Amino acid sequence: MERIKAFFEGIRTYLREVVGELRKVVWPSRERVIKATGIVVAMVALVAGFLYLWDLGIGALMELLLA
């Protein structure tokens, strides 16, 4: 019975510490999140475009080599 009590007390202590740490977090502002999201979306589009063009180039090269 003591082991079960100690187990649940450990869980309670852990959760209390998690809440304490989350209160220390400095959350970003809405504007900063929107700006960072825009940058991420732009970079993903840029890399996707680069890979698309690379794939077209490799495909054309393969067509020339296999023709």
Q: What is the pLDDT of residues 35-45, one digit of tens each?
A: 999 999 999 99
How far is 40 from 11, CA to CA, in rounded Å? Answer: 37
Once rounded to an integer, what is the mean pLDDT over residues 5-10? 93
pLDDT over threshold 90, residue 2: no
| Entry pTM | 0.62
How far is 9 from 15, CA to CA, in rounded Å? Answer: 10
pLDDT of 6 reads 92
CA-CA-CA-CA torsion for 44, 50, 51, 52, nearest 10 degrees? 110
How far is 38 from 50, CA to CA, in rounded Å? Answer: 18
pLDDT of 58 reads 97
pLDDT of 60 reads 96
Once rounded to an integer, what is the mean pLDDT over residues 5-34? 96
